[in-house]
Amino acid sequence: MLIKTGIPTAEDLSKVYPSEERMLKGPVAIIECFQKIPCNPCTEACKQGAILPMKDINDVPEMDFDKCNGCGVCISRCPGLAIFIVDRSYSEKEAIVRIPYEFVPLPEVGQKVACLNRAGEEVGQFEVKKVVSGGKKNMTYTVWLAVPQELCMEVRNIRLGGVLHGE
């Protein structure tokens, strides 16, 4: 259960997923934000009008998936790092998953990195296609990953190693 483990359940996720048909059309934002908290920067980030204005700042975000063009501006603007873009139109076998990333070192384009699911378990090593800065002030990067189609709703993080102060 999300409130006990931090891992959203299939039921939680089913509430925020676009239709299969929309997914296959091209990149679309998936907002994995399930709790009513006072927060609304996503609604202001979206210039397409796809993230609907909130009546109450405590509302959970609501999307009009047909208006979303997958621009991804919202990824680095969400303070909770809860927005991902999935593009299933990328190729027959692979989809692109764009994730927010705030760790050093940054992955390099072409590098194969350990991809993790929502529980932090490695589900495979896949290629980084793009690394985009959110800007000097924003400081959140967006990492584009090419993952097998069947894992596009699983991969939500990467692990690179980097500086570890352990052994």
Partner 1 sequence: MPEMKQTEILVVGGGPAGLCAAAAAAQLGASVLILERDSKPGGQLVKQTHKFFGSKKQYAGDRGIHIGDFLLEQVETNPKVEVWPDTTCLGIYEDGVVTAEKDNKHIKIKPERVIVATGAAEKALMFPNNDLPGIYGAGAVQTLMNVAGVVPGKRVLMVGAGNIGLIVSYQLLQAGVEVAAVIEAAPKIGGYLVHASKIRRAGVPILTSHTVKEAYGDKTLEGAVIWQLDENWQPIPGTEQDIKVDVMCLAVGLSPLTELCWQAGCQMKYVAELSGHVPVRNEYLETTRPGLYVAGDVSGVEEASSAMVEGRLAGVSAALSLGYGKDTAPQLQAEALAELNELRSGPAGEKTMKGILKLMGKEGAAC
Residues that bind partner 1 (CB under 8 A): 2-8, 32-41, 44-45, 56-58, 77-82, 102-104, 116-121, 137-140, 156-157, 159, 162-167
The residue type of 45 is A
Helix (H) or strand (E) holding 76: helix 73-77
> CB within 8 A of 11, min separation 6: which ones?
none
Cα–Cα distance measured from residue 130 to residue 128, given in angstroms and rounded to the nearest whole number: 6
Considering the complex, what minimum distance in angstroms separates the CB of residue 109 from partner 1? Answer: 22
**What DSSP designation does 51 have?**
B
> Do residues 126 and 144 lie in contact, with contact meaning Cβ atoms separated by under 8 Å?
no
Q: Which C-beta is closer to partner 1: that of 122 or that of 127? A: 122
When the beta carbons of 24 and 52 are compared against partner 1, the nearer one is 52
C-beta of 167: minimal distance to partner 1 in Å? 8
Distance of closest approach, residue 144 Cβ to partner 1, in angstroms: 17
- For partner 1, the closer CB: 82 or 143: 82
Using alpha carbons, select from 38, 129, 136 the residue that is nearest to residue 85: 129
Cβ at position 84, least distance to partner 1 in Å: 11
Q: In angstroms, what is the minimal distance from the CB of 46 to partner 1? A: 13
Comparing CB distances to partner 1, the nearer of 22 and 62 is 62
109: number of Cβ within 10 Å: 12
Residue 90 vs 101, nearer CB to partner 1: 101
CA distance 55 to 71: 24
